[in-house]
Amino acid sequence: MDEVIKVEDGSIITPQGFSAAGLHTGVKRKRNDLGILLSTVPAEAAAVYTMNRVKAAPIGVTKASLQQEGRLQAVIVNSGNANACTGKQGITDAYTMRAVTAQQFSLQEHHVAVASTGVIGQAMPMEKIVPGIAQLHPEVDDLAAEAFAQAILTTDTREKSSCYQTTIDGKLVTLAGIAKGSGMIAPNMATMLAFITTDAVIQHDVLQQELRVVTDVTFNRITVDGDTSTNDMVIVMANGLAGNEPLTPDHTEWWKFEELLLKVCEDLARMIARDGEGATKLIEVEVFGAEGDEEAGKVAKAVVGSDLVKTAIYGEDPNWGRIMMAIGKSGVPIDPDLVDIAIGPFQMINRSQPLAFSDEGIRHYLANEEIQISIHLNQGEGYGKAWGCDLTYAYVRINASYTT
């Protein structure tokens, strides 16, 4: 297999040696709210975390686990309660989740990561969480994967997963990911939970570096509402059961691992943006011709994050002036006389000069569920992409009553 292929029926437990479970403990009213992802052996691991200065208790516990030797064997995660802004008791509760999970599954405590998502500022209902951990029975089947996927959701309307395979050193290598995220999405990093599994052989430090690179062009390029969560993280676990030679940038097939990780993360990022709270449309912005890739990415994210652009897309209004405004406020030096903008197949301006377009045609295009905006700055070779969603009345309704 000389290419990277999507596994349409794959899941977070498709890579060798991984199992999962999820169940309902009563932290949430109905859906599953506690889950575990487990590897049969300790896995090389990497993580990136929210840049919000207010961090939830599980962030510190997971950091402490990884700092010990860079390996993880399990992730215990709950939804419905963020365990954020909960003081010393919240930290104690997060460490208790780690300890109870380690004891239940005969693991070393520092091989367990902890993640939480949900309402901020409420004490963890440990009387539900602790007995719930004892009831988790990880399996390797579709039902177990789905149960775990449901256990990490909050205001999400759908599960989000992706899986790809390739061969490296003649060995089948699989990489899969699962994520949650719908509101409070402006990762930097993060504002969602994402868990990635692979059976590739790769060391912690190499994996950590590559995760940071890929995160910058995927999860850090999505925005729903411009707010950055207190909780969330991306964790990658690589248990090495594929048996390939250790992967580094010097490996002749390193590009295949890069593409595996990039494709899974980009799929998950798009799914999170598409499932923004109250969203009806996914918006993808591509920027060409910037002075560099970093500048292109900043412009793309500024456009997709503009409330005025987002509301125009919701209203199916071809108001390209709002796009131009967002480009100008991005903080990236541009020549305002050289900008090209297209909405889907319709060129709106060329070298900053308005063009005639079919009003009926573009309104028909804007009725689609996925909208593409292309921008050319005509100043260099830089390229970048970003994803977001429209801003709707439903977003206000959902967030006006989040805790009630």
> Is there a catalytic annotation at residue 191?
yes
Distances (CA, A) of 347 to 269, 343, 353: 27, 7, 11
Contacts of 333 (CB under 8 A, 6+ apart): 291, 295
Give the per-residue pLDDT at 402: 53
- Token pair 């207010």 in the structure block, residue: 54
pTM of full prediction above 0.85: no
Q: What is the DSSP letter of 114?
A: E
CATH fold for the domain made of 5-274: L-amino peptidase D-ALA esterase/amidase (3.60.70)
Spatial CA neighbour of 191 closest among 201, 199, 183: 183
CATH code of the domain made up of 282-400 = 3.10.20.340
Query: Mean pLDDT of successive 10-residue segments in the chain (404 residues)?
Result: 92 98 94 97 94 82 96 96 92 98 98 92 95 98 95 83 97 96 45 89 98 90 60 90 98 98 94 76 94 94 91 92 94 94 96 90 94 96 91 70 56
Distances (CA, A) of 32 to 102, 171, 211, 222: 21, 36, 29, 26
How many CB atoms are closer than 10 A to CB 360?
8
Domain locations along the chain? 5-274, 282-400
Give the per-residue pLDDT at 230: 60
Give the per-residue pLDDT at 159: 85
Distances (CA, A) of 147 to 8, 27, 35: 18, 15, 8
* Residues 300 and 222 sit within 8 Å (Cβ to Cβ): no
Give the per-residue pLDDT at 229: 55
- Pairing label, strands 370-376, 233-238: unpaired
Select which of 25, 101, 191, 223 is catalytic. 191
Is it true that 5-274 and 282-400 share their CATH fold? Answer: no
